[in-house]
Chains A and B, each alone.
Chain A
């Protein structure tokens, strides 16, 4: 039986440690900043892990705090994906599922940046006109956000995964 993995938040963090997209799947919005902090503090551990064993992308459980378990994944180009999952009693996680979900998240990011119309560095010229939008979740990542939402939905519903994945 597939464990009911409930994702609380997913964070994509750029190689320069800027937030790319932070998506929380909690109902109330005021906890969003908490996941910002979780993603931010997990960088400490990611830095340690990533530097020690460079070949492995999946960093495993980074730490668990209060009610969330934080898992990390780093792409070869040092884009970090941080997953905050609800810490339930089912501590022993199926690594494969986690791997898979992380692979899908990586793929989601990959396909998002493959979009030829994506402007990665919106030029400095436009900055002075208007406010720079907050980095995390700027509108250019709309598609990525949609995909991530979908992944979270599928992961959250074990019936779907069990029927689809067998």
Chain B
């Protein structure tokens, strides 16, 4: 390509072309050998040819100058023909074919190929090239190649040639000499009047082919040239001594046809242009002095009628000369220069002048705009490169000249800037201060090219110019400007690509023709795509977009390889750069990559942009980028590209949690010791599982233990994934990443809705016993590489670490040491990582979700129950049973089944107990209800075993308890006694599973018992002969101490019930009372009870608590007497309930149950009644004296005689087991009609031992007839005062008639 070297005007271009099947490497090898000759001493040029016109440009013998060569690799486009006279240095003046050859037969081929290539590159209508040659390098031939046919323009280099380089130099010299000869011929043609007219015909004239020239010229051409001096400018003879231009003044000889053509132009045009061309040729020929002279002349002539382009061009040429001078002079060692002005100011002035002239070119034909712009731009670039070379060479010196003349392989990167730190601020500033040229001046010069001029350039030149601008900016350290220009370069290149494609399409259409519906796919060449993409990345990087944020990787890479790459994506990211520009450049780069097309790059760029610029991208853009990327990946896949992009969308997985197992599958770990029998089973139900400790460290461990999962059973994980984008994110596969025991899981694919969190359930199966660690998730986007995202457990340390990180990022956010381009976010990240990684990494130990895999467990299900609809209807106190059939649906046997029950009455009772506000009495009642009257109960059976697939039925007893609304039957089961070779050692734990059966319970209250009373049994003497009465329940044989128990039963339900109360006292005949209670009515049940007496030891015991609760403080402050009373009441009530069995039975039905008396209260009166007296008293009448005739005793009444002395005999028996002292009171009514002996009150009986009795006689005499009542009561004489303990009554009918 064109390189805008400063001294390009003085360089002879020699085009190197590969010929034949030469490999690129070989070509480069030989070409570089040729390229080493960038300057040839004039003295080395062999002067050939003796013809005068050919000799004009040949170097003078012993001249000391140099001629400069440059070796471009590409010919200029055909369209540049218009420049061929004004800018001869733009064209390759010579063309050298480089070929290899192994046998001489191939030589004609090579020659023809070479000629074909030359013809292809340079149409015959052009003037150039002036010389051609083909270098054939012999390679690998056994026999030397002999130039058999002696082809012209073919030079053969034998393989064994030792001084090949020297030979090449000589050949180059020959070629140059040939060129100079051709220069002479050319000038000669131009010197002719017609030639001159052609030269002045248009702004950018073209010399027609020789054949197109008027034929008369040909004939005249052969004439010896006539020296003409008259029109020649005043030139010193010395300068023109040898090369005096020989201008033929043969305009009069013009052919009429030509004259017609040229008549409009004017016959005699100025020779300014001719001199300028000559000067150009002299410059190329290395004859600086001549060039200077001719330039001066040309400028003079071109000024008067202003021919600005040619004038400017001549100025450019003149400006080149001092540099050449200085270079050749100071090639060895350059001493100090003039100190006054800057040495380059003259040159700069000329160039400024030239620029201004180009700038002011009057508008002419549109087709010339391209060339005018090109000339303008190259002039500006020449000026820039002058300053730039001086600047980069640290001032005016040999280095600068070399840079300007022989830039070497990297024209835009001078050696001072080619090291690593060249673009640091210090280096650039140093260059500026040393050279005295500020960077701004260079850049402002460069800015002149930018603008509408560029639009008129041809695409190829535009790329070249822009490239030059960009490189200069880059070297100046103006990276933003560079990237700005590079964007335009890219635009140009893409334009070219598109145009080229269209042309291709056309030619293909032509070449293939219409073949019906056959699709034709051409092999696209992807050469150069990489460079374009690299440019893109560079531009984006300057704007702060890292297109490499997503890497392209091999398809089969390990997802865990970069697990820690950026796990901090949730941490605050500081915005960087210029979002508006970034979005623009991102769009462009995706479009460029699409146009190339490089599908992987499309995907990479689109996804990188999505990742890095997500906050700024508009929804439409996001969607576009995403769909573009997806499409590109699909195409890439289809084309068999084995690479893929890494995962891109931030951190998609938010959390992973083990889905709780269904209750029936949940294994519960129990220690083996739980199987041993325990002393008290009742505690648990009373305590309700409450923990006595406010803080129990073990409980935390228990809850945070590893979740248990069962081997070979499916388990589910709930994964929360997020999608921050506005489109639906598709994940090709999402799977769990685990370590530990082998885990079998199937990846799923899913689509996450836009801007939302999504819940995914992943299922899997653990295949072995042990510990399973869930590290995170492996995510794969469509066409991407799977990537693992580690999700540590959200422990406190982890949270702390994240918070720390976040706050550190926030803290760093406002601080910056470097700004702008020194501060790219990706570089900063590396920096911070390098600095602070040591400490954070080492302390970081991540905890993961860990599960314990336990052996397979059996599974039980409830096959059937006797309960319909899951509801149980009970009467209050009803006793019934339900049966549940369990079925083992696992292949493992079950050898352990336990049932536990729960119902809705338990919890309130437990709460009430736990609160401790209940009195002792109520506490007892509650506890009693909990322990002795559970709603459900079963008979514990340790030998239940269920073989695989078998069923077993268990019976559960139910008890109707008012207030119960629901209950649950829990069955725990396990397979404990496993085969020991399943797992080597005896396990210390076993696992149970539970199955629950909830029941709706309805308990109807149908019988209400109330009004319990205990009445004294009437002590009226019963006649034994009264048979009718003996059938009654109320009748008791024994005449001892009895009382009557009565209870009212109300039937509030709709059906009749039979209620029975049985007497089950010890040593007492069994008795029962049975009453049918119709609906809505109240019946009273009365049954005699034998009084009983509890010992003091018994009654003085405290009210027991059924639980082993500790620290039960009696809250009610009772006095001793009250407490004694309370205890007596309690114990007597307990005894009373023990002696009665109350039951009900559905009338005409089968349902039965207990009738609870526990709601009934025992009052003190009742207590007195039921308690047996301590003394038993029996009374009888005895006649006085010896009379044996008994007193008539009839129907329980005595008939003593009147007015006669009788004795009332009172027999007092001590019924207690202790010896007591008794007194006796006797009361006779009516008292005024009797006479008695002694006292009637406090009759001393004396101490009676246990069961001892003593008779006391009281003499009385009835004074009249009538009915008398005698009442005797005994009292115990003790410290606490006397109290009645026993009494008896006797009725006497005194009748004289009897």
Query: Which one, A60-68, A95-103, A109-117, A145-153, is touching chain B?
Result: A60-68
Taking the complex as formed, is A15 at the interface, i.e. its CB lies under 8 A from any CB of chain B?
Answer: yes
In the complex, what's the smallest C-beta–C-beta distance from A121 to chain B, in angstroms?
Answer: 7
The distance in angstroms between the C-alpha atoms of A67 and B353, with both chains bound, is: 21
The distance in angstroms between the C-alpha atoms of A64 and B481, with both chains bound, is: 13
Is A52's CB under 8 angstroms from B429's CB?
yes
Query: Which one, B101-109, B575-583, B887-895, B1022-1030, is touching chain A?
Result: B575-583
Chain A residues near B452 (CB, 8 Å)?
A: 66
Interface residues of B in 409-445 (CB under 8 A from A): 425, 428-429, 438-440, 443-444
In the complex, what's the smallest C-beta–C-beta distance from B815 to chain A, in angstroms?
Answer: 10
Known: A33-B584, A66-B452. A45 touches B578 (CB 8 A): no
The distance in angstroms between the C-alpha atoms of A78 and B817, with both chains bound, is: 13
Interface string of B1251-1269 (1 = CB under 8 A from A): 0000000000000000000
Is A33's CB under 8 angstroms from B440's CB?
no
Taking the complex as formed, is A124 at the interface, i.e. its CB lies under 8 A from any CB of chain B?
Answer: yes
Taking the complex as formed, is B447 at the interface, i.e. its CB lies under 8 A from any CB of chain A?
Answer: yes
Determine which residue in A19, A45, A51, A62 has the highest number of CB atoms from chain B within 10 A of its CB, and name it. Answer: A45
Taking the complex as formed, is B572 at the interface, i.e. its CB lies under 8 A from any CB of chain A?
Answer: yes
Is A33's CB under 8 angstroms from B820's CB?
no
Is A65's CB under 8 angstroms from B447's CB?
yes
The distance in angstroms between the C-alpha atoms of A52 and B616, with both chains bound, is: 35
Is A66's CB under 8 angstroms from B616's CB?
no
Chain A residues near B439 (CB, 8 Å)?
A: 48
Chain A residues near B810 (CB, 8 Å)?
A: 124
Query: Which one, B283-291, B300-308, B472-480, is touching chain A?
Result: B472-480
In the complex, what's the smallest C-beta–C-beta distance from A38 to chain B, in angstroms?
Answer: 9
Taking the complex as formed, is B819 at the interface, i.e. its CB lies under 8 A from any CB of chain A?
Answer: yes
Chain A residues near B450 (CB, 8 Å)?
A: 65-66
User: Which residue from B473, B480, B572, B819 sits with its C-beta under 8 Å from A16?
Assistant: B819
User: Number of B residues contacting the other chain (C-beta, 8 Å)?
Assistant: 40
Is A132's CB under 8 angstroms from B577's CB?
no
Taking the complex as formed, is B744 at the interface, i.e. its CB lies under 8 A from any CB of chain A?
Answer: no
User: Which residue from A65, A131, A136 sits with its C-beta under 8 Å from B580?
Assistant: A136
Taking the complex as formed, is A143 at the interface, i.e. its CB lies under 8 A from any CB of chain B?
Answer: no
Known: A15-B819, A16-B816, A44-B477. A63 touches B580 (CB 8 A): no
Taking the complex as formed, is A162 at the interface, i.e. its CB lies under 8 A from any CB of chain B?
Answer: no
The distance in angstroms between the C-alpha atoms of A21 and B454, with both chains bound, is: 30
Interface string of A116-149 (1 = CB under 8 A from B): 0000010010011001101110000000000000
The distance in angstroms between the C-alpha atoms of A15 and B822, with both chains bound, is: 13
Taking the complex as formed, is A41 at the interface, i.e. its CB lies under 8 A from any CB of chain B?
Answer: yes
Size class of the contact patch on chain A: 35 or more
In the complex, what's the smallest C-beta–C-beta distance from B458 to chain A, in angstroms?
Answer: 20
Interface residues of A in 10-54 (CB under 8 A from B): 15-19, 22, 33, 36-37, 40-41, 43-45, 47-49, 51-52
Interface residues of A in 61-96 (CB under 8 A from B): 62-67, 78
Beta-carbon nearest neighbor of A19 in chain B: B578
Interface residues of B in 561-585 (CB under 8 A from A): 572, 575-581, 584
In the complex, what's the smallest C-beta–C-beta distance from B810 to chain A, in angstroms?
Answer: 7
Taking the complex as formed, is B813 at the interface, i.e. its CB lies under 8 A from any CB of chain A?
Answer: yes
Is B580's CB under 8 angstroms from A44's CB?
no
In the complex, what's the smallest C-beta–C-beta distance from A59 to chain B, in angstroms?
Answer: 10
User: Which residue from B479, B579, B581 sits with its C-beta under 8 Å from A37?
Assistant: B581
Beta-carbon nearest neighbor of A39 in chain B: B578
Taking the complex as formed, is B484 at the interface, i.e. its CB lies under 8 A from any CB of chain A?
Answer: yes
In the complex, what's the smallest C-beta–C-beta distance from A52 to chain B, in angstroms?
Answer: 7
In the complex, what's the smallest C-beta–C-beta distance from B434 to chain A, in angstroms?
Answer: 14
Known: A44-B478, A45-B478, A135-B575. A37 touches B484 (CB 8 A): yes
Known: A18-B575, A45-B443, A124-B572. A40 touches B581 (CB 8 A): yes
Chain B residues near A44 (CB, 8 Å)?
A: 443, 473, 477-481
Is B578's CB under 8 angstroms from A36's CB?
yes
Interface string of B443-457 (1 = CB under 8 A from A): 110010011100000
In the complex, what's the smallest C-beta–C-beta distance from A30 to chain B, in angstroms?
Answer: 12
Chain A residues near B616 (CB, 8 Å)?
A: 131-132, 134
Interface string of B773-816 (1 = CB under 8 A from A): 00000000000000000000000000000000000001001101
Chain B residues near A121 (CB, 8 Å)?
A: 813-814
Chain B residues near A47 (CB, 8 Å)?
A: 425, 820
In the complex, what's the smallest C-beta–C-beta distance from B626 to chain A, in angstroms?
Answer: 16
Known: A16-B816, A63-B444, A127-B615. A40 touches B429 (CB 8 A): no
Known: A18-B577, A44-B479, A124-B810. A63 touches B819 (CB 8 A): no
Is A65's CB under 8 angstroms from B575's CB?
no
Determine which residue in A22, A63, A67 has the highest number of CB atoms from chain B within 10 A of its CB, and name it. Answer: A63
Beta-carbon nearest neighbor of A15 in chain B: B819
In the complex, what's the smallest C-beta–C-beta distance from B808 to chain A, in angstroms?
Answer: 13
The distance in angstroms between the C-alpha atoms of A49 and B440, with both chains bound, is: 9
The distance in angstroms between the C-alpha atoms of A36 and B103, with both chains bound, is: 64
Determine which residue in B438, B576, B578 has the highest number of CB atoms from chain A within 10 A of its CB, and name it. Answer: B578
Chain B residues near A124 (CB, 8 Å)?
A: 572, 810
The distance in angstroms between the C-alpha atoms of A67 and B447, with both chains bound, is: 11
Known: A17-B820, A48-B440, A121-B813. A33 touches B580 (CB 8 A): yes
Beta-carbon nearest neighbor of B479 in chain A: A44
The distance in angstroms between the C-alpha atoms of A108 and B451, with both chains bound, is: 33
Is A43's CB under 8 angstroms from B429's CB?
no
Chain A residues near B578 (CB, 8 Å)?
A: 17-19, 36, 40, 135-136
Chain B residues near A131 (CB, 8 Å)?
A: 615-616, 618
In the complex, what's the smallest C-beta–C-beta distance from A102 to chain B, in angstroms?
Answer: 19
Chain B residues near A66 (CB, 8 Å)?
A: 450-452
Chain B residues near A15 (CB, 8 Å)?
A: 816, 819
In the complex, what's the smallest C-beta–C-beta distance from B1272 to chain A, in angstroms?
Answer: 99
The distance in angstroms between the C-alpha atoms of A37 and B814, with both chains bound, is: 25
Chain B residues near A135 (CB, 8 Å)?
A: 575, 578-580
The distance in angstroms between the C-alpha atoms of A70 and B320, with both chains bound, is: 33
Is B580's CB under 8 angstroms from A134's CB?
yes
User: Which residue from A16, A45, A127 sits with its C-beta under 8 Å from B440?
Assistant: A45
Beta-carbon nearest neighbor of B813 in chain A: A121
Is B615's CB under 8 angstroms from A41's CB?
no
Chain A residues near B443 (CB, 8 Å)?
A: 44-45, 63
Beta-carbon nearest neighbor of A136 in chain B: B580
Chain A residues near B618 (CB, 8 Å)?
A: 131
In the complex, what's the smallest C-beta–C-beta distance from B490 to chain A, in angstroms?
Answer: 14
Chain B residues near A128 (CB, 8 Å)?
A: 724
Chain A residues near B444 (CB, 8 Å)?
A: 63-64
Is B579's CB under 8 angstroms from A134's CB?
yes
Chain A residues near B479 (CB, 8 Å)?
A: 44
In the complex, what's the smallest C-beta–C-beta distance from B1260 to chain A, in angstroms?
Answer: 110
In the complex, what's the smallest C-beta–C-beta distance from A26 to chain B, in angstroms?
Answer: 16
Chain B residues near A41 (CB, 8 Å)?
A: 478, 480-481, 484
Chain A residues near B428 (CB, 8 Å)?
A: 48
The distance in angstroms between the C-alpha atoms of A52 and B426, with both chains bound, is: 10
Is B575's CB under 8 angstroms from A132's CB?
yes
User: Which residue from A22, A43, A64, A65 sits with its C-beta under 8 Å from B820?
Assistant: A43
Is B478's CB under 8 angstroms from A36's CB?
no
User: Which residue from B447, B572, B584 sits with its C-beta under 8 Å from A63?
Assistant: B447
Identify the B interface with A (CB < 8 A).
425, 428-429, 438-440, 443-444, 447, 450-452, 473, 477-481, 484, 543, 572, 575-581, 584, 615-616, 618, 724, 810, 813-814, 816, 819-820, 823
- What are 27 pairs between A and B in contact, CB < 8 Å? A15-B816, A15-B819, A16-B820, A17-B819, A18-B575, A18-B576, A19-B580, A40-B480, A40-B578, A43-B480, A44-B477, A44-B478, A44-B480, A51-B429, A62-B440, A63-B443, A66-B451, A121-B813, A127-B615, A128-B724, A131-B618, A132-B616, A134-B616, A135-B575, A135-B579, A135-B580, A136-B578
Q: A16-B819, A18-B576, A40-B543 are in contact. List 6 more A-B contacts (CB 8 A).
A: A17-B820, A36-B578, A40-B480, A127-B572, A131-B616, A136-B578
- List 10 tightest A-B contacts by C-beta distance, closest first: A44-B478, A132-B615, A124-B572, A66-B451, A41-B481, A41-B480, A17-B820, A44-B480, A65-B447, A134-B579
